[in-house]
Structure 1
């Protein structure tokens, strides 16, 4: 599988496994361990987490599975996100829904993630969502400490638009730090990051992109949705032409973008993973890519 270089210390697999639903899978540690090994065998080595997933439980579930194979950590890149507070009895001060980008919270969140995942270092930590109260100096101070203490290999953001990225990036650069990743919602259904220039802005600064909900949270399979119906009318003939599934065509569409967008795939079914990987090996023509693009737009390009 192709790799995407994040910085001088780490590279990611070009398909990423997400664990936001791991609590719902209700797997034993042995079952999850087997699944992680199956992913690694296929070249999918990058694992995406967030502290809040599964009411603050999914990282711990993953950690118990990882503990069964101590050497498995050497074959993985583990990403987590922080900065969102959800009401929960699992952690202190989780008494409401808000964002917290304070130095104290970021550092505590990373330390908690490391403990739950049962690892010593994250390959990347991302600020989960931008906040109206975001102080870039606070975040920069936290990143400096985490890098100095060897707790993170790289730093990134999630759901940041151009101006939010610029605000934080300018502060980080002053301390010789930089944003390496931006996790955005991108799919043939959701074009906002393409249309508003965010992807181009990240590409310009060599910020690598992860795509959450590359299947639009299942919307791309809801044929009662008018937009989906338009897109499917283009994708279905392509799936027949290339003898692959709809999922594979969607992955091929994402993969064609020159910015090396890495889809975060949240399935627990290994055959769905294989469909995604098949799509990453498929080369759509420019016309086929634009046919899907304009179907999503609902109108032709100028």
Structure 2
């Protein structure tokens, strides 16, 4: 078991779309306060979110209400050089060089108006990653007090193991939902359990396809989940989060909504006891066939 005792809130608020929410600074402050009141104390960012603007929008709220920072955990990511109007690279590409990671961490500190980031993730696997110098900058930034903990996102088991042997990682942020089940079979969730490290889960609602998808898989899953949700007296959102939470790796699912009702539905999943038959009924509907 790991010696690291760092934990996130059971439900994590994702800020990928905060730039689209068009909230004023006081409205952003109130949104954060409402999330905290629900027990959501962890906030997931990335340097590239909102065309490189999302972190600063959140940071403006923290600057306006400094007392909020001590009540939360700030998570962010780096490692993608996103070609955009803000960064006119020739192409989008990955960069996990020590110099780039330092630059982005220090920019995130400024954006988020904080002296330390609780958790920084390497956003995507970089095929040119040199694990030893990357681990060295992890250690250096930790010694400097700029980053408390490190992890990765969207990494395979071997990619995780390579970096983990050079510097301790505390999570792998993965995609998992009733419509996207690759993590159940690719070994990443098994590795999390083996190491005793809780994964983070992005897009537990499949980017909204769970509600609006008109493909056969989405329709099958929606019909099955609607029946189960009705029996439990809960929403589809709550059931989707409960399905993710049922996994023994003890995932931290990430929301992606500005709607307080959506946050409330996600938190409600913490009280749902989903049995194995219901869990596998959703798996079966998603796959379109029974278990082997």
TM-score bracket for this pair, using the shorter chain length = over 0.9
Change (3 A) 1:280 1:6: farther
For 1:200-228, what per-residue CA distance to the aligned partner results, in whole angstroms no more than 9, with x for missing partners?
11211122211111101111113411111
Per the alignment, residue 232 of structure 2 pairs with 242
In structure 2, runs of 5+ residues without a counterpart are none
Correspondences of 1:151-230 after superposition (within 5 Å) = 151-172=146-167, 178-230=168-220
- How far 1:6 moved relative to its partner? 8.9
SS class of match (1:202): helix
- How far 1:90 moved relative to its partner? 3.6
**Count of matched residue positions in the alignment of Structure 1 and Structure 2:** 292
Q: 1:233 aligns with which of 214, 217, 223?
A: 223
SS class of match (1:156): strand
Cα distance in structure 1, aligned partners of 2:122 and 2:187: 20
What do you get for the CA RMSD once the two structures are aligned? Answer: 1.6
For 1:165-185, what per-residue CA distance to the aligned partner results, in whole angstroms no more than 9, with x for missing partners?
11211222xxxxx01011000
Per the alignment, residue 69 of structure 2 pairs with 73
TM-score, reference length from structure 1 = 0.93
Cα distance in structure 2, aligned partners of 1:95 and 1:103: 21
Per the alignment, residue 265 of structure 2 pairs with 275
Cα distance in structure 2, aligned partners of 1:206 and 1:90: 39
- How far 1:150 moved relative to its partner? 0.7
- How far 1:56 moved relative to its partner? 0.6
Cα distance in structure 2, aligned partners of 1:162 and 1:6: 17
Q: 2:30 aligns with which of 34, 37, 46?
A: 34
- How far 1:233 moved relative to its partner? 2.1
SS class of match (2:220): helix
Correspondences of 1:77-92 after superposition (within 5 Å) = 77-88=73-84, 90=86
Higher mean alpha-carbon deviation, 112-121 vs 224-233, is at 224-233
TM-score, reference length from structure 2 = 0.96
Cα distance in structure 2, aligned partners of 1:94 and 1:138: 24
Is 1:47 matched up with 2:37? Answer: no
Per the alignment, residue 140 of structure 2 pairs with 145
